[in-house]
């Protein structure tokens, strides 16, 4: 569930030619106001909608803290073109699709925000945001952030989730750990099952032995122990999980209980708090990340150094949180577009500015997203990410032998014994 911008599904990075780092936030604004909603002479009002309470809140709630930390950082530097960002509305849909739609109307038509800088929910419906032509940013797990004519929805890492690319990274891991028999499991909801189903199909087509699949596990994974028994019977030696942290921990406990010798790849759970609470269950578990791993040397990655230092100052509890960093990235993209829109910004000017970016990296945290040519609709390679593995009480870099980059990239979706290629220009290097 926390894998929305999976390293293997980003398809918005083609053609990168310049970096997307912010070097200055602009000078003082003129006293003149703006006709745009939410804009005064000294502030810009924004808001977000996320699932902060309810059964699935753990998958989405921390996005607002990454956002808030970035805005606090920007405001401490004087704001953008002399205006502070007023993160006034942090609305909670409670995991209810009807509530989400009501809040979207409230945020846009009643609160009159300038931008919706954070969306994190399994129930995103894009219509009202597209019709209102409001700059919208967030965390995509619903595969509907992209479509014909949609240019104002900016999901972290690109608005396209290209599921056929899932298999190539899974195949690379299988080759590296010498797996002969692969299992894939997911919840019976689209945001979980679609990714693993695409991975299973691609692996099978490439000739890998997919020995077990279950894409209808009940949330939150209380029946997954039965799946572990069946995986053992099938001889599976690698399991790919598209469940969330709760399901993964339940699965890991069953693997330990039944004495199954199996490599695990989780698409959720790269959070230090999760590891601190479940060290014995998580040893040797692999993850794929879309950003420079938290454990990478900050001396080599200034974008990570900035993120860690700001988060430790403003949101210490959420420093090593995969969803918080999604919020940080969304906020950074909004701020970059706002800066470029000038002293009297309009919503369309911000949208246009972000859509001119050819290599947005969230100030050096990710591989480049090319919003001009592919961010809203592209399926072009390369498909990149950084693998990490649990060792003791840490997540450490894994599988990559490169001395210059934490990223492993592939130039094709062909999953048959894939070979990495160099990251695209603009990729953060170490």
- Shared domain for 246 and 327, answered yes or no, is no
pLDDT of residue 33: 57
pLDDT tens-digit readout, 59-98: 999 999 999 999 999 999 999 999 999 999 999 999 999 9
Evaluate if residue 22 carries a pLDDT over 50.
no
- Please tell me the distance from the alpha carbon of residue 384 to that of residue 402, in angstroms, as a whole number: 14
Nearest residue to 303 via CA among 367, 351, 211: 367
**Strand boundaries in 145-209, DSSP class E:** 153-155, 182-187
Same domain, 246 and 278: yes
Q: What is the band of 8 on the pLDDT scale with cuts at 50, 70, 90?
A: very low
Location of structure tokens 């891991």: 173
Residues 275 and 169 in one domain: yes
Instruction: Give the pLDDT confidence score for residue 379 in this predicted structure.
Output: 84
152 with 172, same domain?
A: no
Cα torsion for 267, 240, 10, 302, to the nearest 10°?
50
Stretch among 21-35, 180-194, 267-281 having the lowest mean pLDDT: 21-35
Q: pLDDT tens digits for 356-411?
A: 999 999 999 999 999 999 899 888 889 999 999 999 999 999 998 888 889 999 99
How confident is the prediction for the chain on average, in pLDDT? Answer: 91
Mean pLDDT of 221-231: 96
List the domain range (segments joined by +) for residue 71.
43-157+298-354
341 and 404 co-located in one domain: no
The stretch 237-245 carries a mean pLDDT of 97
Q: Would you place residue 32 in the very low, low, confident or very high pLDDT band (cuts 50, 70, 90)?
A: low
* Contact yes or no for 243/1 (Cβ under 8 A): yes
Instruction: Please check whether residues 208 and 224 belong to one and the same domain.
Output: yes
Same domain for 401 and 279? yes
pLDDT 10s digits, 265-317 = 999 999 899 999 999 999 999 999 999 999 999 998 999 999 999 999 999 99
- Confidence category of residue 26, pLDDT binned at 50, 70, 90: low
- Answer yes or no: do 347 and 400 share one domain: no
Residue 160 has pLDDT above 50, yes or no: yes
Residue 43: is its pLDDT beyond 60? yes
Average pLDDT over residues 345-351: 98
Number of domains the chain is built from: 2
Please check whether residues 185 and 241 belong to one and the same domain.
yes
Is the same domain home to 220 and 270?
Answer: yes
Residue at 314 is within a domain:
yes
Q: Residues 174, 100: one domain?
A: no
pLDDT > 50? residue 15 = no
Q: Is residue 9 part of a domain?
A: no
User: Which residue bears the tokens 């479940």?
Assistant: 278
253 in a structural domain: yes
25 inside domain: no
How far is 232 from 186, CA to CA, in rounded Å? 17
Nearest residue to 171 (alpha-carbon basis) of 163, 185, 187, 182: 182
Q: What CA–CA distance (Å, rounded) separates 194 from 142?
A: 10
Tens of pLDDT along 129-141?
A: 999 999 999 999 9
Q: Is residue 13 part of a domain?
A: no
Tell me, yes or no, whether 428 lies in a domain. no
Same domain assignment for residues 303 and 341: yes
The predicted model gives 163-170 an average pLDDT of: 95
Of 69, 64, 34, the closest CA to residue 52 belongs to 64
> pTM, whole model, 2 decimals?
0.91
Integer Rg of the chain from CA = 21
Which domain CATH number covers 313? 3.40.50.2300
In a domain, 11, yes or no: no
Q: Is residue 73 part of a domain?
A: yes
- Higher-pLDDT residue of 378 and 326 is 326
- Which residue would you say has higher pLDDT here, 28 or 343? 343
């Amino acid at each position: 569930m926390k894998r929305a911008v999976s390293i293997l599904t980003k398809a918005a990075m083609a053609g990168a030619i310049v970096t997307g780092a912010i070097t200055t936030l602009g000078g003082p604004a003129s006293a003149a106001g703006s006709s745009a909603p939410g804009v005064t002479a000294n502030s810009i009002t924004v808001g977000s909608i996320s699932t902060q309470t309810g059964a699935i809140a753990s998958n989405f709630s921390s996005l607002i803290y990454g956002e808030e930390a970035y805005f606090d950082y920007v405001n401490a530097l004087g704001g953008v073109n002399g205006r502070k960002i007023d993160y006034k509305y942090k609305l909670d849909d409670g995991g209810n699709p009807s509530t989400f739609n009501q809040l979207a109307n409230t945020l846009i038509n009643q609160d009159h925000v300038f931008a919706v800088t954070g969306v994190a929910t399994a129930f995103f419906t894009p219509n009202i945001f597209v019709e209102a032509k409001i700059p919208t940013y967030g965390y995509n797990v619903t595969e509907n952030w992209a479509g014909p004519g949609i240019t104002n929805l900016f999901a972290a890492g690109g608005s396209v989730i290209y599921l056929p690319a899932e298999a190539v990274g899974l195949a690379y891991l299988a080759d590296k750990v010498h797996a002969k028999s692969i299992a894939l499991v997911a919840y019976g909801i689209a945001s979980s099952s679609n990714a693993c189903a695409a991975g299973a199909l691609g692996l099978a087509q490439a000739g890998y032995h997919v020995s077990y699949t279950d894409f209808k596990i009940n949330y939150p994974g209380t029946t997954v122990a039965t799946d572990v028994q069946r995986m053992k019977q099938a001889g599976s030696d690698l399991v790919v999980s598209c469940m969330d942290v709760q399901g993964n921990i339940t699965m890991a406990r069953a693997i330990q209980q039944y004495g199954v010798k199996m490599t695990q790849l989780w698409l959720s759970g790269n959070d230090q708090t999760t590891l601190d609470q479940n060290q014995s269950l998580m040893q040797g578990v692999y993850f794929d990340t879309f950003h420079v791993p938290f454990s990478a040397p900050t001396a080599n990655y200034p974008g990570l150094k900035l993120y860690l230092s700001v988060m430790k100052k403003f949101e210490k509890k959420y420093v090593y949180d995969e969803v918080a960093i999604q919020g940080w990235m969304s906020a950074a993209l909004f701020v970059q577009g706002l800066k470029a829109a000038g002293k009297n910004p309009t919503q369309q000017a911000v949208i246009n500015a972000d859509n001119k970016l050819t290599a947005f990296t969230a100030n050096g945290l990710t591989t480049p997203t090319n919003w001009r040519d592919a961010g809203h609709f592209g399926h072009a390679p390369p498909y990149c990410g950084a693998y990490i593995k649990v060792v003791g009480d840490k997540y450490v870099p894994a599988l990559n032998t490169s001395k210059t980059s934490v990223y492993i990239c592939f130039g094709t979706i062909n999953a048959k014994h894939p070979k990495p290629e160099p990251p695209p220009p603009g990729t953060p290097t170490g």
